């Protein structure tokens, strides 16, 4: 996977030197986090390099920091952030001239000690990067960062919590059940019987099994015969390889898959773009259908009734506000049998060459570079609005 966007780099710079724009325009410094200890590591590498290059082109001093699969932090030299570089190179950051490894605390203390402090552009996907963990680390270090805060990130990443919240607020979600790995380990037969009964009550008895807190369709599998315990148990084991909580959802055959982009902080100023539509090249929009070139196609302006378009956009905005999201997000929907179902929210959507989120924002005038810069502005706006003065003993109750 590669990103065809151009990058600006300073030849011969020392490890950790900033990528500077071709005009050398002064701008606020940015640190882009990419990689991460997640199954979506490679997707993040593509997103992060594209964001770093786009911000550098707009004049920001940009520094890329790699977080490895093991969780080590490395400050990368400019050439290492080249979008054309093979993804396998990032398994050996020292060989690329990276400086490290650092623990998270030392890395963030180093960044927080700089003047001016950089803003952290989080281009991480999946657990650690998208679930509130790295957001909490940035909060503790006093660093401004892009996207949603700790609580909203956690709610958006956890599909079970997200469905409980939005379903409880009356938004339409498909029938689902959560399965804990501990319960399955203790009595797999009992779990299988419960899911078989759940599936038997559905119009289509097939189930979609997925990890509760992961993205990019990693670990997802269709169970054709929930009444056959070996097939069901194998699907659950596949999901539990990535998480200790799995979801079993009602399977919808050949639904329309719609995505909406939301940009902004305050409810009155949100920008909503789309919906766009995914046309998966596989039975469902799995990892390879998402990221292998030519397998699937997308449209930023699909044909649909205006009533459906308005309904999906309104639900996307409602879901964004329900979890307290900020900055940006992508909200996904399934349309089946004349009904719209809210599927999930992604608080750090992909910025790859085939990602629909930046393409949708471009229809509203936010080209890739201006979109990355706008997300940076929203991060600074959110950070500035928060109280930063330290408490004194006199202020305590």
Distances (CA, A) of 31 to 98, 173, 376, 381: 15, 37, 11, 17
- Select which of 129, 330, 343, 382 is catalytic: 330
Cβ-contact 291, 352 below 8 angstroms: yes
Q: Is 344 a catalytic residue?
A: yes
Catalytic residue among 156, 213, 350, 355: 350
Taking alpha carbons only, the member of 327, 325, 317, 321 closest to residue 376 is 327
State both tokens at 295. Answer: 């397998």
Of 332, 341, 355, 382, which residue is the catalytic one? 332
Q: Based on the residue annotation, tell me whether 145 is a catalytic residue of this protein.
A: no
Taking the CA of residue 176 as centre, how many other CA atoms within 13 Å lie in the half-sphere pointing to its CB? 27
Q: Which of 63, 344, 355, 382 is flagged as catalytic?
A: 344
* CA-based nearest residue to 242, from 288, 286, 211, 215: 211
Question: Which residues have a Cβ under 8 Å from the Cβ of 329 and sit 6 or more positions away?
Answer: 147, 148, 156, 261, 262, 320, 345, 346, 347, 349
Is 115 marked active-site?
no
In the residue annotation, 257 being an active-site residue is answered as no
Task: Find the farthest-apart pair of alpha carbons in the chain and give their distance in angstroms, rounded.
Answer: 66
Of 264, 259, 261, give the one whose Cα is nearest residue 374. 264
> Is 326 a residue of the active site?
no
DSSP per position, 300-352: SS----HHHHHHHHHHHHHHHHHTT--EEEEEEEEEETTEEEEEEEESS---S
Q: Per the residue annotation, which of 47, 153, 216, 326 is the catalytic one?
A: 216
Cα separation, 100 vs 110, in Å, equals 12
Q: 177: which strand partners?
A: 248
Q: Which of 90, 291, 313, 355 is catalytic?
A: 291
Answer yes or no: 332 catalytic: yes
Side-chain half-sphere exposure of 85, counting CA atoms within 13 A:
25
- Residues annotated as catalytic are 40, 216, 291, 330, 332, 344, 346, 350
């Amino acid at each position: 996977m590669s990103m065809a966007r151009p990058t600006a780099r300073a030849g011969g710079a020392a490890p950790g030197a900033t990528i500077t724009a071709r005009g050398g325009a002064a701008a606020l410094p940015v640190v882009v986090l990419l990689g991460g200890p997640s199954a979506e590591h490679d997707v993040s590498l593509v997103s992060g390099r594209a964001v770093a290059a786009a911000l550098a082109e707009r004049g920001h001093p940009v520094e890329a920091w790699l977080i490895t699969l093991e969780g080590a932090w490395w400050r990368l030299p400019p050439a290492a952030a080249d979008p054309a570089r093979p993804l396998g190179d990032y398994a050996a950051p020292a060989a690329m001239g990276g400086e490290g490894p650092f623990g998270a605390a030392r890395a963030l203390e180093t960044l927080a000690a700089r003047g001016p402090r950089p803003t952290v552009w989080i281009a991480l996907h999946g657990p650690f990067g998208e679930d509130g963990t790295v957001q909490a680390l940035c909060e503790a270090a006093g660093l401004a960062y892009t996207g949603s805060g700790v609580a909203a990130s956690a709610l958006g990443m956890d599909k079970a919590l997200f469905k409980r919240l939005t379903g409880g607020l009356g938004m339409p979600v498909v029938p689902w059940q959560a399965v804990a790995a501990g319960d399955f380990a203790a009595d797999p037969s009992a779990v299988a019987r419960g899911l078989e009964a759940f599936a038997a009550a559905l119009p289509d008895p097939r189930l979609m099994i997925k990890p509760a807190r992961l993205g990019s369709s990693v670990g997802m599998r269709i169970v054709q015969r929930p009444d056959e315990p070996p097939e069901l148990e194998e699907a659950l084991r596949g999901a539990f390889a990535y998480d200790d909580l799995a979801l079993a959802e009602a399977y919808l055959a050949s639904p329309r898959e719609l995505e909406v982009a939301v940009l902004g902080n305050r409810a009155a100023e949100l920008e909503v773009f789309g919906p766009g539509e995914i046309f998966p090249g596989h039975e469902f929009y799995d990892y390879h259908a998402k990221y292998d070139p030519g397998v699937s196609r997308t449209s930023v302006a699909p044909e649909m009734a205006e009533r459906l378009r308005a309904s999906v956009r309104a639900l996307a905005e409602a879901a964004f506000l329900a979890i307290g999201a900020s900055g940006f997000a992508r909200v996904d929907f399934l349309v089946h049998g004349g009904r719209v179902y809210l599927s999930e929210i992604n608080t750090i959507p992909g910025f790859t060459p085939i990602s629909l989120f930046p393409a949708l924002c471009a229809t509203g005038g936010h080209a890739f570079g201006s979109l990355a810069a706008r997300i940076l502005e929203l991060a600074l706006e959110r950070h500035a609005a928060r109280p930063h003065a330290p408490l004194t003993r006199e202020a305590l109750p």
